[in-house]
Amino acid sequence: MKLEGKVALITGAGRGIGRGCALAIAEAGATVVVNDHPGSPDLADTVSAVQASGQKAIPVESDVFSRQGCEMLMAETLAAAGRLDILISNPAWSQRQSFLEFDPQIFEKVIGATLIAGFHISQLAARQMVSQGDGGKIIYISSVHGEMPYARAVAYNAAKAGLNHMARTIARELTPYRINVNVIAPGWIDTPGEHLLISAEQFAEKAARLPWGRLGTPADIGKTAAFLASDDADYITGAILRVDGGLVAKDT
């Protein structure tokens, strides 16, 4: 219960990595504010799972792809929980196309939803933590796409690379306030969205060829987030931590 008494906000917590982070952070003792987009069919399930662990979950539906949505989310978080100690910044959206055919509007949407949205929610969270005066933890969910130039993913690759460097810069600026800022870079993670891309047979075959012999899980990312959010990670800031089962090392 290393996070007992803390309040954590997790965006994109309806399913996948966001849900894994919410469950792990709650298991470590924090009250979690779990966010997903308006009308999310998944958010209630995350709330139920957190409550089943004996912790408190506060659901807030809000569109964090916009500044206004982030402001609303922060206001509702503070109204319900009174403070904010931990932010797991997990907004992202992607669509794959070849570079020569990439739709400029789609490119801008990916950058906005994956990079700019991360700026908005973390700036608001950091301002609140600074006003509280007792430090805090900001953890961005990035991707190995930030350093690996996967084909047909020019916008997402660029967004995650930008997110990584933005986080390092923010970490430098927030050190006087004892706000730790770090990045988790997942590899190939077994999320619902991944199963929409290929068949179950292809999925199993490709997973077996990974260095660790399996895909990562949302729980793998959640445990990492819980560590970075704890006092055990007090001397870590500006770090980009791969959680990829050796994927990047295999392909470099």
**186-227 confidence digits (pLDDT tens):** 999 988 777 666 777 877 888 888 899 999 999 999 999 999
The two most distant CA atoms of the chain are separated, in Å, by 52
Q: Which residues contact 31 (CB under 8 A, 6 or more apart)?
A: 6, 7, 8, 55, 56, 57, 58, 81
Is the pLDDT reported for residue 162 higher than 70?
yes
Report if residue 36 sits inside a domain.
Answer: yes
DSSP string, 44-72: HHHHHHHHHTT--EEEEE--TTSHHHHHH
Our answer to whether residue 177 is catalytic in this structure is no
- Annotated catalytic residue within 140, 150, 156, 177: 156
81-128 per-position pLDDT tens digit: 999 999 999 999 999 999 999 999 999 999 999 999 999 999 999 999
Asked, for residue 196, whether it belongs to a domain, the answer is: yes
Domain assignment of residue 1, yes or no: no
Tokens read off for 151:
């084909």
Convert the pLDDT of each residue in 51-85 to its tens digit.
998 999 999 999 999 999 999 999 999 999 999 99
Domain span including residue 211: 7-250
Residue 2 lies in a domain: no
Residue 149 covered by a domain: yes
Ramachandran bin of 7, using left for φ above 0, alpha for ψ from -120 to 50, beta for the remaining angles: beta
Render pLDDT for 219-252 as a digit per residue (tens, 0 to 9): 999 999 999 999 999 999 999 999 999 999 886 6
User: Is 167 inside any structural domain?
Assistant: yes
**Which pLDDT belongs to residue 53?**
87
pTM: 0.96
Task: Give the count of domains, the chain.
Answer: 1
Q: Is 209 left (phi over 0), alpha (psi -120 to 50) or beta?
A: alpha
CATH number at residue 53: 3.40.50.720
Assign 234 to helix, strand or coil: coil
CA–CA dist 73, 76 (Å, integer): 5
In a domain, 103, yes or no: yes
